Amino acid sequence: MRRARARTDRALAMPDEVVESLAEGLLLLDPTGHVVQANPVAARLLGESHPDDLRGRDAVDVFDATIGSDGRPLDAEENPLRACLTKGIAIMHKLVGVRQDGAATVWVDVRMTPVRTRLSAAAADPACAMVDGIVVVITQPNADDGTVAALRDRDHQLSVAQRMARLPMWRWNTSSGAVEWLDGAGRGIGISGESKGMGDYLDGIHPDDRQGHDAMLQALLTGHLRHGEVDLRYRWEDGWRHWHLWAESVVDSGGQVTELWGTTQEVTARREAEAAVRRLAMTDSLTELANRAQVLERIGTALVECPKPLEVGLVVLDIDRFSHVNDRFGPSAGDLLLIEIGRRLARLGGSHRTPGRLGADQFALVLERATATQASELAELAFTELSRPYQLTGVDEEVHVTVSVGSALSMRSVAHSTSELFRQAEIAVSFGQSGGGGRVVHFDEVLRSQVLSRLDMEGRLRAALGAGSVFPLYQPVITLGAHASQDRITSCEALARMDSLGTMIPPSDFVGVAEESGLIVDLDLAVFAKAVRQVLGQPSTAGLGLATNFSPLSLQNPGLVDRVAAVLDDAGLTGRALRVEITEGCLAEPTPQLLAHLRGLRDLGAQIGLDGFGTGYSALGYLSRFDLDFMKIDRSFVTNVCTDRRAKAVVRAVIDLAHAHDLTVVAEGIETSEQLEALRDMQCDMAQGFLLGRPMTIAALTEAASGSR
């Protein structure tokens, strides 16, 4: 210990005659903070009679007796010497007041510089050295009261601003490596109760933030940037904290950067609050999955960052007929189902996979880097997982749902965008749903070709509707007599056709497109309006009934009944000769809107009948549950009525049951005389099919009807 003190004393010692001749006050301190040497100016300014009164004293106590610029005694945190001793921080300027016996307070400017000995010749960082002592220089500002007052006011304002804003200020000397904390507290980044050099400071920065931090410092040091700021995370005793660093460079007369000045502000609470807000804004509150905004953001980021040859994949999942769950078990059960679906999808997440809820009953999985095989396999796996039965709290039975899944893979070679990838995945889902749902569809070149074809057909359909090129053809409906000679054409069915650029387009090519595009309502009403004028509004066809089809979408359209009534009013007709055919699917899922429309059509005088009985949702219960007037037996039963004993028995039973409910029975799809006679024997009321007449123009229908009378 004695040898160490001797080494320090020798390192800091100066000739007495030199020290005493200085115009500024000087103190030399050992590493423990005790005064080794002092000159008369320092003694006078610190209120002592002789330099010997200071030698051997603990300098911390000397400066604890001083007052700050606000006129109050300095507390332990503000004592500049404490920061210099405990943390090795240089204090370039600190204005303090010294109370002297029997005299006014003397204001002095204090500078403190640690004296360091490098640990090795290889130690490049001046801060990474041993503190052998401290040199304290004390000067007295101009005695003019205004000057001192201005200095006190400036120092006080700075101190108050720092405390209120909690912004420690620092200054870094680029040549010596000395860092000075201007508030004397050393509360900034990298200062946590012990001396830290620049190397320690840099090591504490989060690796992901180091590049941005170093780039800013380099730009400041080279003069390319006058001032800059950066956010970074810094290692602390309790984990990573967030800091905002602001810095400005100072140059000498030659334009060389000599110092960096700056502030540090801890913003951990703010960043955590911002992160919490972002989580709320980017997370679905019910399932806690990523919401639509976050899914879109992940796709956009992945399209930029995904390494080749990998691609970005998107799997979109729609719960088929989700409304049935709410209708049957209640909305609470529906929410529980969505939550469980979210949990199952979350288990499929992981590295570079983000599950999300797009809204209502639609979900997604983003594959931020994947091969085509991986995207396809994930789509199949998600389909399997979501198709398993669900056990929901408060529901006594297993809940079963089907899922339509569509997947798409980015093609960045053709500048694939987020919106394009999304559109392709949703197109794949739509194709799956159009086939009844419950399947997986992958968007590929074949599907792309089909999409382009459908888009072309949609454009042609819009043009035809606008040009009035959509029109009806009519298939005769025969009322059967006891003998063929008594058969008469008493009605017809209006069937939609489209003329596009001189080409006749069959309904199989455009009706599905009309339903998907929403044009089906306009199509149904356009055909209906022309049929009313041609059949019901002409004397030549007086007495003929008109059967017309309205799709499920049309029957849900809020203005359907009013538009039908307007067509009839324009023709000066009632709806008594009108026969409206609806599909079994409408009655399987009857909404209040649909039932109201059926009542409205009946109020106009129309008869309501079930088209294609025996397909899809076939149920004999419809005959008694709904107020129907007629029923059409599907062609699939008629085709085998003469060759299949069981089919014949079914048709007979259906006819008998319909008659028991006072329904008129129409058989469609009759192509042979044997089928016609078999149906006649079963007391079928009406028939239509190619045997009795193919779809024809109104002129041909008029001629055929007059010939059958």
DSSP annotation of 506: P
Query: What is the C-alpha to C-alpha distance for residues 257 and 221, in angstroms, rounded to an integer?
Result: 6
Query: What is the C-alpha to C-alpha distance for residues 654 and 685, in angstroms, rounded to an integer?
Result: 12
Q: What is the pLDDT of residues 316-337, one digit of tens each?
A: 999 998 888 888 899 999 999 9
86 burial type by CB count under 10 A (0-12 exposed, 13-18 middle, 19+ buried): middle
Output phi, psi for 167, to 5 deg.
-120, 90
- Reported as a pLDDT band with limits 50, 70 and 90, residue 497 is very high
In this structure, the chain runs to a length of 709
Q: What is the reported pLDDT for 128? A: 43
Sheet holding 91-98, edge to edge: 35-38, 25-29, 129-139, 106-118, 91-98
Q: What is the reported pLDDT for 160? A: 54
> Which among 221, 397, 390, 413 is positioned nearest to 306, based on CA atoms?
413
SS3 59: helix
Helices (H) and strands (E) in the chain, counts: 26, 24
Q: What is the reported pLDDT for 107? A: 83
pLDDT at residue 187 tops 70: no
| CA atoms in the 13 A half-sphere facing the CB of 324 | 10
Look up residue 594 and give its two tokens: 């649909």
Print burial letters for 317-334: b (CB count within 10 Å at least 16), e (below 16).
bbbbebeebeeebeeebb
- Higher-pLDDT residue of 171, 370: 370
- Reported as a pLDDT band with limits 50, 70 and 90, residue 115 is confident
Look up residue 641 and give its two tokens: 């009525």
- The set of residues, in sequence order, having a beta carbon less than 8 Å from that of 234 and lying 6+ positions away, is 189, 190, 204, 205, 206, 240, 241, 242, 243
DSSP annotation of 545: E
Q: What is the pLDDT of residues 561-594, one digit of tens each?
A: 999 999 999 988 989 999 999 987 787 777 888 8
Q: How much of the chain exceeds pLDDT 70, in percent? A: 84
DSSP annotation of 539: G
> Which among 538, 540, 547 is positioned nearest to 706, based on CA atoms?
540
- Reported as a pLDDT band with limits 50, 70 and 90, residue 112 is confident
Query: What is the C-alpha to C-alpha distance for residues 677 and 638, in angstroms, rounded to an integer?
Result: 12
Chain CA centroid to CA 699, Å: 59
Q: Write out the DSSP string of 306-366.
A: PPTT-EEEEEEEEETTTHHHHHHH-HHHHHHHHHHHHHHHHHT-BTTEEEEEEETTEEEEE
SS3 12: helix
Look up residue 276 and give its two tokens: 């919490």
- The set of long-range contacts for 115-123, using a CB threshold of 8 Å and a minimum separation of 24, is 115/11, 115/12, 116/88, 117/11
> Which among 154, 135, 137 is positioned nearest to 68, based on CA atoms?
154
Element (H, E) at 668: strand 664-668
Q: What is the pLDDT of residues 608-617, one digit of tens each?
A: 998 887 665 4
Beta carbons of 262 and 213 less than 8 angstroms apart:
no
- Reported as a pLDDT band with limits 50, 70 and 90, residue 121 is very low
Q: What is the reported pLDDT for 195? A: 43
Q: What is the reported pLDDT for 620? A: 61
Q: Report which residue type is found at 597.
A: H
> Which among 415, 414, 355 is positioned nearest to 385, based on CA atoms?
355
Output phi, psi for 412, to 5 deg.
-65, -15
207 forms beta bridges with none
How do 403-409 and 440-442 pair as beta strands? parallel
Mean pLDDT throughout 383-395?
Answer: 93
Look up residue 283 and give its two tokens: 């997370």
Q: What is the reported pLDDT for 209? A: 92
How do 129-139 and 25-29 pair as beta strands? antiparallel
Q: What is the reported pLDDT for 466? A: 92
395 burial type by CB count under 10 A (0-12 exposed, 13-18 middle, 19+ buried): middle
pLDDT at residue 8 tops 50: no
Mean pLDDT throughout 354-382?
Answer: 92
Query: What is the C-alpha to C-alpha distance for residues 48 and 614, in angstroms, rounded to an integer?
Result: 115
Query: What is the C-alpha to C-alpha distance for residues 561 and 551, in angstroms, rounded to an integer?
Result: 14
The position carrying tokens 């005959």 is: 623
| Gyration radius (Cα) of the chain, Å | 45
- Reported as a pLDDT band with limits 50, 70 and 90, residue 469 is very high
Q: What is the reported pLDDT for 379? A: 94
- Reported as a pLDDT band with limits 50, 70 and 90, residue 433 is confident
DSSP annotation of 15: -
DSSP annotation of 411: -
Q: What is the reported pLDDT for 87? A: 63
Output phi, psi for 120, to 5 deg.
-155, 160
- The set of residues, in sequence order, having a beta carbon less than 8 Å from that of 463 and lying 6+ positions away, is 469, 500
- Reported as a pLDDT band with limits 50, 70 and 90, residue 709 is low
pLDDT at residue 92 tops 60: yes
Query: What is the C-alpha to C-alpha distance for residues 642 and 361, in angstroms, rounded to an integer?
Result: 47
- The set of residues, in sequence order, having a beta carbon less than 8 Å from that of 293 and lying 6+ positions away, is 281, 282
Query: What is the C-alpha to C-alpha distance for residues 299 and 312, in angstroms, rounded to an integer?
Result: 7
Look up residue 476 and give its two tokens: 């005769």
- Among 199-203, 445-449, 532-536, top mean pLDDT goes to 532-536
Q: Write out the DSSP string of 251-317.
A: E-TTS-EEEEEEEEEE-HHHHHHHHHHHHHHHB-TTT-SB-HHHHHHHHHHHHHHPPTT-EEEEEEE
pLDDT at residue 519 tops 60: yes
pLDDT at residue 388 tops 60: yes
- Among 150-154, 199-203, 355-359, top mean pLDDT goes to 355-359
pLDDT at residue 184 tops 60: no
pLDDT at residue 191 tops 50: no
Output phi, psi for 686, to 5 deg.
-140, 160
Beta carbons of 190 and 262 less than 8 angstroms apart:
no
- Reported as a pLDDT band with limits 50, 70 and 90, residue 491 is very high
Q: What is the reported pLDDT for 430? A: 85
- Reported as a pLDDT band with limits 50, 70 and 90, residue 256 is confident
Q: What is the pLDDT of residues 678-708, one digit of tens each?
A: 999 999 999 999 999 999 999 999 999 887 6
pLDDT at residue 418 tops 70: yes
Q: Per mean pLDDT, which range of 164-178, 436-450, 491-505, 572-586 is the poorest?
A: 164-178
The position carrying tokens 């569509």 is: 406
CB count within 10 Å of CB 201 equals 17
Q: What is the reported pLDDT for 603? A: 94
- Reported as a pLDDT band with limits 50, 70 and 90, residue 600 is very high
Average pLDDT over the chain, rounded to an integer: 83
Longest distance between any two alpha carbons in the chain, whole Å: 146
Cα distances (angstroms) measured from residue 643 to each of 107, 140, 558, 675, 683: 120, 122, 45, 10, 19
444 burial type by CB count under 10 A (0-12 exposed, 13-18 middle, 19+ buried): middle
Query: What is the C-alpha to C-alpha distance for residues 499 and 506, in angstroms, rounded to an integer?
Result: 9
